[in-house]
Each structure stands twice: as C-alpha cells, then as structure tokens.
C-alpha cells in the first residue's frame, strides 16, 4: 500500500522562470505532496519542460491546470473546481499556495474585461481573489503551529519604489492615454512595485482578520527572491536599456554576490529557499509573527512594509480590495461565459449556475466578518496580535513606539559601494566590447590570473574515471602509473634539505609523482622553507626534475609532545602521540588522493640514506602493502649501527594473550619493557649479505617508508586513530589491511638508514668523552712543553766545546796570517835597519813581541765573543 499524499501545493505562474524552478524544488524535497501547477498556457514549452524535469526526479503526483489571472472568471472557476475536488477527496486539502505569477509592462495597457489595470489585477487582485476563494479548500488548523495552510507571495525589491495609492492616482491619467503608449522604466518599476506592495499588504491584512473568526489557520509570508538570471517574461518586452542592464548584472553575478547574496542568482537558488520555508516546522514563538524573507534572511514584515503598522489604513485597504473582488465577481456575466476560456480537459464539464451565487455569497459573508473582526484581533493560541488600548480595550498601535526606522548608514554605504562596483563593471564591459584588443590583457586581470585565454573558460564539469586502470602493477614506471608521495612534517626545517636531495635523486619519473605535505603543530620555519624549496625544485633548469601536482596542507592537531628524542620515544606519550599521528595521516590522504593515483608512498623526512630506485624496487614485488627494513647508524662507541623501526613485525601468541588482558583503549607499542610481546621483528632479521628481494609476511608495519596500492585505501583501510586490536596508526593499518585480505610484506635484507638522533644519555656521554679528550690533549701538551724545557736546560757540553774550539782555531789562524804579513822585510827600509845590536835593529823584535801580545789579547777577545 502506497504512502498517502500529505496535501496539495498550488503554484501559479508555473510556466515562468521562478514558478517552474519552485515546482521542481518542491518535487525533489516533498515526494508526497500533490503539485497543482497553474498556467495561462498549459501546452507551452516551459510547461512541457518542467513536467519532464519532474518525471526525471521520480514518481510524483502532479497535474497542470489552466487559469488566467487577468480574468476573474477564470480564477473563480479554478478556485471552485479545486474546492469541489477537495470536498470529494479527489485531492488532499491545500496546504500551500504560492502566488508566483506576475505581470510587468512598459506601455500603457488596455484595461481588462473586469475593468482593472492588467498589472494590478494579475499581481494583486487576482491572487487575493484566489486566496479568498480557496479558503474552504485549505487544510483546517489543528491548534498547533504546524497546522493549517501557508500562502507565500513573491515580492520584489521594487516594492520600495511603490505606493498604496499608485493605481488610484494613475487611474485617470492612464484612461486618457492611448493603449500602447510607452512609459519610462522608472514609471514601469513604480507600477510593478506598487502592485506587489498592495498584494503583500492586503494578504497580511487578510491573515489578521482570519486568524480567529475565520476558523482558518493561515500563515502568510512574502518572499523577495532578488534579481535572477535567465530569460524572464517580465523582461522579454522591456526596453533595450532594461535588457542591457539585466544582462550586465547577470555577467557580473560572481562579483555582485560578494557584496550581497541576493544581488543576483539563478532561479534555482530562491526556489530552494521557498521550498524550504514552505515546509519548515514552526514554533509557537514564530507562529504569530508576520515574516518577510529576502532569500533565506528573515525579517519582520512591518520593518520592510511600514504601512503594516498603520491599522486604520490596513483596514481601509482590506475593505477596498474586498469591494473590488466583490464587484468583479458580480460583473463576471452569465455562468456559461465564465467557462469560455477554461480548458475542457482540466475542469469538470459543467458547473451549475449557482456557483457564482455561492462564490459571491461567501465573499460577501467574509466581507461582513472582516468588518466585525477588525475589532477583535487575536491569535488562536490566546495571544493578542496587537496590544490593547487601556482606554477602550480596542487594539491599536502607539505611533511613538512603532515608527518606521530609518535606513542604517551601513546599508546606505553598502548600496553606494554596490552601485560604484556596478558602474565600474559596466564601464569595463563596454571597454571590452568596444576594444576587442583589450580582452587578452583584461581577461587575466579580471580573473585574478586564473584564466589566461578564452580556451580556459571552457570548464569541464563532468569527468569520467575508470578505476580498473589504476589498480597498480609491478612495472608502474613503464605503464605511466601515478604515485602519491605523502610526507607529514612537524618542526622539520632542519631535515628538509636532506629530504629534497633524496627527491631529486629518485629515478622514478618525476612527472608521475604527486607530492603531498601536511605541516602541523610546527614552531619553526617549516612552512616557509618548504615553500621556498618546492619553488626551487619546480623551477629547476632540468626539464625532468619538476614533479606533478603538489599539495601543501596546514592543519594543527594539538600535539603537545615535544620533538626531542626523549619526549617522542617515551613510553607514556606513545598512545596519544600515535593516535594524533594517525589523524594527521588520514587528513593528508583524504585531501590529496585522486582517482588517477595507482600507488601511495609514505616517506618520513628524516631518512638519512635510501636507494634512488626504492620506488621501483618495492613496486616490482607487486604487493598491496610493502615496507623495507629500517636501521640507523650509531657512533663507534655505541656499536656502529642499530635496528631502528621495530613497528614491522609478525604476530605472536604472547602478544595476543597480552592484548586480551588490556583495556579496550590500550595501545601496544614495541620496543618497551612494559609490553613484552616476543614478536619476530623485521629489523632483527637483517643480513647485510642476504638477498634484498627476500619477502617476509607481516602483521604490523612501520611508517618510515610504506608503499601501498591506492586501492587499499579506496577499499576503506586507513590509519586508525583509535585502538584497533590494541594497536594504532601504522601498526593498526597493517593489521586492518591484513584483516581485509590484502598482502602485507616486509623485506628484511633491503635496508634504508634513518637519521641518528642522540638521546639525552648519549649526549651526556658525548660531553663526558669530549671533556676526557680535551683533558688528554692538555696533558700531552704539558708533557711536550716539559720535555722541551729539559732539553734546553740540560743539553750536551761536549758539543758546545767543539763549537767554541772551532771558533778559537779560526781566530788563531787569522791572526797568524796577519803577523806573517807584518813580519815580511821592506826593501826600501833596509838601510834604516842597520846599526848596533842595541840600536834601531832591535826595534822590529820589540814590535814583533808587541804584536804577539796584541795577538794574544785579540785571541782572548774573540774567544769571549765565541763563548757568548
């Protein structure tokens, strides 16, 4: 048995731009509402189009009925026909009436057969007549805010230019003008806005009068949809200036919406809002309010239509409109003439002549009731619609309390700014139209650099991906398979130069590698350095160096654990730290994984050395998840090397038994004495001379270097940020992949080396070693200085004697040569040397003896100098 229909929704002007979109929106949102579409021409192309669109949505109850709002005859007939169908339960009661039909004209029109301006009758009197005539078909109120029916009138911004007395003042002037005479755009706007203003005011006045005495719970709203793009009947016959302004505003829609979301939209935008407002649940507080909507912004109706605060004027307006429709119904002519324009396929074959009398009687009774009700305004829930006067117990509005508010200065400035922007946009458009050569230079500026040519405007809106072609194979570099390389970063500025050197050395085609970085909870210049190095990498002179798509995501997760070795690897911080790291990995993957990726490669930034062919080497195994062995170098005094990543392991019975004893949220971590799991670790099985292609099945994997097929993540495997089988992050990722039937493999003899980060104990030991080295060097230097001083003070005396003796010998030899030269006889003085033995002949001997003494003295002096 099918679900019964909840009610009937009547939409006038269903062949119009907004009316058709409203029908489609309600059909999508309310599948159990009977749609009754009212149009002047039910065989027009817009009607066929809206019916086809509704059929594509799914099975819906919808029908199209012909009615012309410019003819009271047609409106009354349609209303009576609908009332009879509701009485006979052919259709459910009417729960919604949307007066979307509208008429606008830029010429002086001939009055209708009912004697009214066509714009005034279509936009104001006919919707009012239709509402009054359908009162018996509306759903009765059940005493709750959501009972009864709703009437939504489509307003417009031109209501601010309208006047309640417009058609009274212009009646005589229009009668004197020849039909077809053009009127200005300003005059046409005032005419259209006045008709909409009168309709909204009259509808609110009708609601006030029907709340109690009519026993009908009727909510009346006015919705201003704003300006809309697309072809509209209202602007089809408009002057050229109006059409150009409309086209310009449509072209500037993205810019205008920055300043006001109601500036201009597609018709589907206000249609969705109307469909939402029409069926939203009411509250007791909002039930008694008179509301006015500008798109989805809600206002008090009296703040937009100040005349609603003037009760006497509202009563007079209601009386006037009631008299007009009463006169119109009386003057419709014979009963047969009322159905001349009614489609035979839509209405019943005959409606008795008493239909007009019943319709007229109901309107007359309502007219009398309204006259009585104006003294007793109240709502059905017992709350007064307006405050009572203390003197005569009648309802009144204090002028000093409900005065219309002036327009805020901020709104005036915003309107001025919007007008300036509109003027600039029109000027720019005219320049582009007049000077085609400016398009190439202005297009990138207007688009903020996003568009560089006309071809860039061809936006592709539908993309088709065949995921069977991105499953991942063992020779991805030959088949052009794309790899997403993901790297989480935190305070990694010191590691980025080393990381980018590894990126440059990768032999896998760089254009097939997309890079993804997540910078989180960093206090250093990681983001700035990353941006600079990426820019340098992508602008490398080598055409094979730039990578594919690069994504840099910044998201903080509130990680409180510090980056030092003691904090990161401390046992107490492991569970919370790894859960946050799992969140970071999931954020990065979900934001960057594309349908074109076949592989996902996770790589830490602090890897010291790794083969340049690591992607090809791991990919050749054609496994779903594969990891290498990870070690780290150590100082000689610590052994030279050490296994680093202990998160790659096979499950053991001891670990399973341990897991059964832990709490639900507990996380087992390897390498700590608190959890003795006795698992076979991939790191401890390394043989430096073993086969690097040897495989080992794993249950948990480490996160330093993981190559996984993208289909593993698309199947739902992720990095659990919670305790999954008593593990989290990469270890839980391995267990989840294994649980879902994917292969998880490790290479025990294929090793990459992680950067050595000394612990606090290592640093303390290094300081002690450095102090010992300095002390040893100082002692060695002191010993050398002491040896040099001893050698200087206690050197060999024999060696010095030999040196002094050589100097003395040289001095004596020189002296002898001088004496021999002085003792040689001079022939010229031979005579002077003759004489006695005691005479002059003895003088040379004395001279020789004196010379010998002098020579001895000189020799002593030279010896002293030599000694010195």
Highest mean pLDDT, choosing among 165-169, 207-211, 313-317, 392-396: 313-317
Domain boundary among 373, 397, 432: 373
User: Given this model, what pLDDT does residue 602 score?
Assistant: 96
Highest mean pLDDT, choosing among 663-672, 724-733, 837-846: 724-733
For residues 486 and 498, membership in a common domain is answered with yes
User: Given this model, what pLDDT does residue 772 score?
Assistant: 84
Q: Does 495 or 453 have the greater pLDDT score?
A: 495
Q: How far apart are CA 480 and CA 468, in angstroms?
A: 14
Across the range 748-775, mean pLDDT stands at 82
Across the range 629-657, mean pLDDT stands at 89
For residues 539 and 598, membership in a common domain is answered with yes
Is the pLDDT assigned to residue 57 strictly greater than 60? yes
Domain boundary among 707, 728, 757: 757
* Contact between residue 141 and residue 380 where contact means Cβ atoms under 8 Å apart: yes
For residues 647 and 781, membership in a common domain is answered with no
Across the range 233-257, mean pLDDT stands at 71
Highest mean pLDDT, choosing among 219-233, 247-261, 853-867: 219-233
Cα 44 to its chain centre, rounded Å, is: 43
User: Given this model, what pLDDT does residue 440 score?
Assistant: 62
Highest mean pLDDT, choosing among 363-367, 393-397, 779-783: 779-783
Phi/psi at 355 (nearest 5 deg)? -60, -45
For residues 566 and 538, membership in a common domain is answered with yes
With respect to residue 698, please indicate whether it lies within any of the assigned structural domains: yes
Look at the pTM and tell me if it is higher than 0.85: no
Is the pLDDT assigned to residue 339 strictly greater than 70? no
* β partners of residue 9: 35, 96
User: Given this model, what pLDDT does residue 178 score?
Assistant: 76
- Give the CATH number of the domain where residue 287 resides: 3.40.50.720
User: Given this model, what pLDDT does residue 843 score?
Assistant: 44
Q: How far apart are CA 407 and CA 423, in angstroms?
A: 23
For residue 95, the SS3 value is strand
Number of domains in the chain: 4
With respect to residue 420, please indicate whether it lies within any of the assigned structural domains: no
Which tens digit of pLDDT belongs to each residue from 778-811? 888 888 888 887 777 665 556 667 777 787 888 8
With respect to residue 130, please indicate whether it lies within any of the assigned structural domains: yes
For residues 683 and 810, membership in a common domain is answered with no
For residues 366 and 347, membership in a common domain is answered with yes
For residues 141 and 185, membership in a common domain is answered with yes
User: Given this model, what pLDDT does residue 107 score?
Assistant: 85
Which tens digit of pLDDT belongs to each residue from 285-295? 667 678 888 88
Q: Does 798 or 766 have the greater pLDDT score?
A: 766
Q: How far apart are CA 29 and CA 433, in angstroms?
A: 43
Across the range 617-645, mean pLDDT stands at 91
For residues 846 and 737, membership in a common domain is answered with no
Which tens digit of pLDDT belongs to each residue from 58-105? 888 999 999 999 899 999 999 999 999 999 999 999 999 999 999 888
* β partners of residue 626: 707, 745
Q: Does 148 or 653 have the greater pLDDT score?
A: 653
Across the range 264-281, mean pLDDT stands at 88
For residues 752 and 772, membership in a common domain is answered with no
Share of the chain above pLDDT 90, in %: 35
Segments forming the whole domain that contains residue 89: 7-225+267-373
For residues 773 and 734, membership in a common domain is answered with no
DSSP designation for 675: -
Which pairing describes strands 33-39 and 218-224: parallel, antiparallel, or unpaired? unpaired
Domain boundary among 373, 401, 416: 373
- Give the CATH number of the domain where residue 625 resides: 3.90.550.10
With respect to residue 829, please indicate whether it lies within any of the assigned structural domains: no
Q: How far apart are CA 530 and CA 492, in angstroms?
A: 9
Instruction: Dig out the tokens for 447 from the structure.
Output: 């688009």
For residue 116, the SS3 value is coil
**pLDDT band at residue 171, thresholds of 50, 70 and 90?**
low
Highest mean pLDDT, choosing among 200-214, 727-741, 798-812: 727-741
With respect to residue 823, please indicate whether it lies within any of the assigned structural domains: no
Is the pLDDT assigned to residue 47 strictly greater than 80? yes
Residues contacting 144, CB < 8 A, separation 6+: none
**pLDDT band at residue 447, thresholds of 50, 70 and 90?**
low
* Sign of the CA dihedral running 4, 7, 13, 19: negative
Across the range 849-856, mean pLDDT stands at 48
With respect to residue 415, please indicate whether it lies within any of the assigned structural domains: no
For residues 765 and 678, membership in a common domain is answered with no
* β partners of residue 107: 182
What are the respective helix, strand and coil percentages of the chain, to the nearest 5? 50, 15, 40
CA atoms lying within 13 Å on the CB side of residue 706: 32
User: Given this model, what pLDDT does residue 756 score?
Assistant: 85
With respect to residue 403, please indicate whether it lies within any of the assigned structural domains: no
With respect to residue 94, please indicate whether it lies within any of the assigned structural domains: yes
For residues 505 and 613, membership in a common domain is answered with yes
Q: Does 626 or 813 have the greater pLDDT score?
A: 626
């Amino acid at each position: 048995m099918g679900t019964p229909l909840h009610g009937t929704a009547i939409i006038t002007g269903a062949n119009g731009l907004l009316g058709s979109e409203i029908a489609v929106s309600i059909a999508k949102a309310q599948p159990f509402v009977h749609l009754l579409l009212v149009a002047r021409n039910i065989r027009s192309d817009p009607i066929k189009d809206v019916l086809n669109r509704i059929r594509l949505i799914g099975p819906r109850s919808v029908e199209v009925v012909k009615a012309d709002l410019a003819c009271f005859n047609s409106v009354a007939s349609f209303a009576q026909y609908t009332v009879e169908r509701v009485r006979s339960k052919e259709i459910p009661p009417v729960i919604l009436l949307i007066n979307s039909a509208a008429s606008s004209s830029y010429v002086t029109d001939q009055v209708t057969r009912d004697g009214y301006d066509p714009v005034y009758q279509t936009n104001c009197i006919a919707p009012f007549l239709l509402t009054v005539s359908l009162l018996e078909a509306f759903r009765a109120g059940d005493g709750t805010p959501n009972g009864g029916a709703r009437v939504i009138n489509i307003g417009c911004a031109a209501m601010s230019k309208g006047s309640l007395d417009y058609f009274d003042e212009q009646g005589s002037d229009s009668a004197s003008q020849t039909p077809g005479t053009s009127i200005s755009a300003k005059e046409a706007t005032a005419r259209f806005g006045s008709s909409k203003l009168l309709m909204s005011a009259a509808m609110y006045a009708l609601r006030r009068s029907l709340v109690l005495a009519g026993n009908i719970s009727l909510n009346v709203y006015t919705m201003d949809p704003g300006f809309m793009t697309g072809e509209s009947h209202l602007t089809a016959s408009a002057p050229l200036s109006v059409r150009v302004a409309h086209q310009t505003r449509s072209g500037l829609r993205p810019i205008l919406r920055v300043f006001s979301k109601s500036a201009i939209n597609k018709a589907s935008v206000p249609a969705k809002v109307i469909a939402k407002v029409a069926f939203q649940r009411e509250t007791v507080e909002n039930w008694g309010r008179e509301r006015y909507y500008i798109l989805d912004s809600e206002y008090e109706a009296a703040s937009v239509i100040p005349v609603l605060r003037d009760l006497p004027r509202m009563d007079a307006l209601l009386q006037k409109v009631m008299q007009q429709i009463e006169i119109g119904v009386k003057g419709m002519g014979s009963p047969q003439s009322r159905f001349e324009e009614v489609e035979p396929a839509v209405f019943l074959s005959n409606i008795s002549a008493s239909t007009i009398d019943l319709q007229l009687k109901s309107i007359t009774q309502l007219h009398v009731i309204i006259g009585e009700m104006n003294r007793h305004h109240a709502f059905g829930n017992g709350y007064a619609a307006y405050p009572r006067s203390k003197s005569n117990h009648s309802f009144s509005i204090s002028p000093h309390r409900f005065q219309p508010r002036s327009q805020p200065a901020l709104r005036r400035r915003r309107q001025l700014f919007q007008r300036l922007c509109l003027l600039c946009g029109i000027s720019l458009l005219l320049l582009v139209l007049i000077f085609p050569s400016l398009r190439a230079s202005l297009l990138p500026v207007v688009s903020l650099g996003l568009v560089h040519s006309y071809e860039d405007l061809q936006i592709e809106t539908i993309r088709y991906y065949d995921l069977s072609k991105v499953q991942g194979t063992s020779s991805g570099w030959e088949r052009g398979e794309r790899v997403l390389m993901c790297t989480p970063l935190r305070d990694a500025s010191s590691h980025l130069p080393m990381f980018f050197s590894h990126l440059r050395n990768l032999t896998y085609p760089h254009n097939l590698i997309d890079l993804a970085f997540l910078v989180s909870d960093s206090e250093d210049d990681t983001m700035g350095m990353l941006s600079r190095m990426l820019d340098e990498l992508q602008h490398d002179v080598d055409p094979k160096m730039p990578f594919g798509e690069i994504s840099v995501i910044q998201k903080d997760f509130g990680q409180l654990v510090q980056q030092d070795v003691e904090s990161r690897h401390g046992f107490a911080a492991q569970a919370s730290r790894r859960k946050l790291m799992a969140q970071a990995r999931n954020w990065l993957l979900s934001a960057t994984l594309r349908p074109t990726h076949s592989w996902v490669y996770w790589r830490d930034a602090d890897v010291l050395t790794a083969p340049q062919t690591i992607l090809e080497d791991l990919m050749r195994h054609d496994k779903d998840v594969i990891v290498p062995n990870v070690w780290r170098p150590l100082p000689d005094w610590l052994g030279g090397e050490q296994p680093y990543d202990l998160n790659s392991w096979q499950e053991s019975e001891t670990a399973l038994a341990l897991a059964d004893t832990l709490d639900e949220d507990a996380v087992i971590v390897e390498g700590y004495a608190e959890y003795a799991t006795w698992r076979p670790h991939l790191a401890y099985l390394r043989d430096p001379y073993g086969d690097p292609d040897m495989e080992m099945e794993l249950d948990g994997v480490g996160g330093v270097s993981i190559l996984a097929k993208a289909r593993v993540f698309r199947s739902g495997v992720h990095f659990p940020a919670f305790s999954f089988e008593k593990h989290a992050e990469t270890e839980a990722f391995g267990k989840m992949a294994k649980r879902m039937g994917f292969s998880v493999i490790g290479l025990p003899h294929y090793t990459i080396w992680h950067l050595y980060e000394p612990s606090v104990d290592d640093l303390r030991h290094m300081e002690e070693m450095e102090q010992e080295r300095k002390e040893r060097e100082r002692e060695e230097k002191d010993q050398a200085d002491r040896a040099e001083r001893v050698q200087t003070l206690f050197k060999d005396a024999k060696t010095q004697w030999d040196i002094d003796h050589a100097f003395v010998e040289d001095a004596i030899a020189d002296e002898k040569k001088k004496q021999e030269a002085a003792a040689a006889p001079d022939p010229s003085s031979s005579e002077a040397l003759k004489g006695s033995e005691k005479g002059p002949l003895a003088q040379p001997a004395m001279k020789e003896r004196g010379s010998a003494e002098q020579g001895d003295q000189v020799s002593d002096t030279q010896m002293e100098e030599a000694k010195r």
